[in-house]
Amino acid sequence: MYTNKSVPAVPSLKKFPIGFERIEETFDYGRDLVCFSHLRWDFVYQRPQHLMSRFARECRVFYVEEPLWGNHSPQLSMRIDKSGVCVVVPLLPEEMRSRSALSVQRRLLEAMFSDCGIRDCITWYYTPMARAFTNQLKCRVIVYDCMDELALFKNAPHELKQHESELLRVADVVFTGGVGLYEAKKSRHRNIHAMPSGIDIDHFKTARSILNEPEDQRSIPHPRLGFAGVIDERMDIELISAISEVHPEWHFVFIGPVVKIDPGSLPQHPNIHYFGQKPYAELPAYMSGWDVALMPFALNDATRYISPTKTPEYLAAGKPVVSTSIRDVVATYEARGLVRIADDPEEFSSAIQAALNDTADVARFQQWQAQAEAFLANMTWDRTWMAMLDLVESAISTRDGNRCANAG
């Protein structure tokens, strides 16, 4: 376990080009963690942010994003987030969109490791694509946190499967973001564990008592049906459009960025409201004004193995939930009576109406909320993080033991 609570700050320089001024201080800290992610730190607050923020309490964390392309000389932009995580962004010239970019990213990282004194390092991967320029880095242990089946997502690089196979070969421990994904990957690694995402219960539970709604939602009539998350190819646009047309008295609130699909393809009806991305801190305030929370996912390749973090968030907020038949949602929540499942417009509408009816019986609904809260009690992010941390430490011990055995 990490024991040194006095972790020095990463130098708060804005840019670290190759050959930047060397840092001479000798730091007194435990091992570092360098995370490679396909998700921007300031994108929707989800699994990487929850976990890396917790690691940042114990060690230095460098969160390396994918490159930004533009009129730059090759360099690293670095900033310290309020969580203590150092967010690292490679800035590369537009004309470098080729294999030469890999060698430059490799040199930038080697310079960062050298000049920031990174040692005894955990490398943590969310994107297998990063293996193309990181396989030379010296580290203590390699972790692959497979939160989604990225190869099935829209616009996935054709090399992704190859890089994932290589990452699975070298990783010391592998985590999956859900049980379905674990079942699909378990035969491919000797030390793989299902680690569904956790829940910040206290944060979302405030939705049960917030009275002052956000101004942009306040004037929307009830019943309100809400969704908070990324709006992309996983959304069943046809389902939402059909239900909103049949039930003009219901109002649909969508919170989250639209990515990888044309915003113009989204249904546009008077009872559908798109608010865009909102800060994580504000989500409970919006949820407090919903009558039912929705997960209207399409049943396609991109959703085959997802385990939506919004399921426990909705439940912690005290909202009845209606979802399409996503495998992990059905297996984990439907059998316990915590989520209603439906797929076609007629069944989904009936499930929404049943959820609305549930809230009318106050005593019964409060009993259901208590049941949901009891189930979520063991699903906190702190528990998830500590379970993962124990497995990482065990992998380090195993690797150290093998090294000693080989040396002997």
In CATH terms, the fold of domain 201-376 is Rossmann fold (3.40.50)
* Spatial separation of the C-alpha atoms in residues 302 and 300, rounded to whole Å: 5
Whose structure tokens read 């085959």? Answer: 304
Does pLDDT of 45 surpass 70? Answer: yes
What mean pLDDT do residues 7-36 have? 51
Residue that has been written with the tokens 């209207």 in this structure:
296
Mean pLDDT of 338-367: 96
Q: Cα separation of 381 and 47, whole Å?
A: 9
Each domain of the chain, given as residue ranges in start order, spans 15-198+381-407, 201-376
pLDDT over 80 at 316, yes or no? yes
**Average pLDDT of span 291-306:** 96
User: Between residues 185 and 20, which one has the greater pLDDT?
Assistant: 185
Is residue 406 over pLDDT 80? Answer: no
**What is the arithmetic mean of pLDDT over 91-106?**
86
CA 400 to chain centre: 30
Q: Please report the pLDDT score of residue 397 as a whole number.
A: 92
Q: In what order do the strands lie in the sheet with 292-295?
A: 272-276, 251-255, 224-228, 292-295, 321-323, 339-341
* Paired tokens of 149: 């089946």
Instruction: Give the number of other Cβ atoms within 10 Å of residue 311's Cβ.
Output: 25
What average pLDDT does the chain have? 90
CATH superfamily for 15-198+381-407 is Glycogen Phosphorylase B; (3.40.50.2000)
Length of the chain: 408
Intrachain domains 15-198+381-407 and 201-376 with the same fold = yes
Q: Please identify which residue in the block is written with the tokens 């939705």.
A: 207
CA-only gyration radius of the chain, Å: 23
| DSSP for 284-324, written as a single string | HHHHTT-SEEEE-B--SGGGTT---THHHHHHHTT--EEE-
- Tens digit of pLDDT for each residue in 198-252? 999 999 999 999 878 999 999 999 999 999 999 999 999 999 999 999 999 999 9
Average pLDDT over residues 396-401: 85
- What span, in angstroms and rounded, lies between the C-alpha atoms of 228 and 6? 37
Whether residue 300 is predicted with pLDDT greater than 50 in this model: the reply is yes
How confident is residue 399, by pLDDT bands cut at 50, 70 and 90? confident
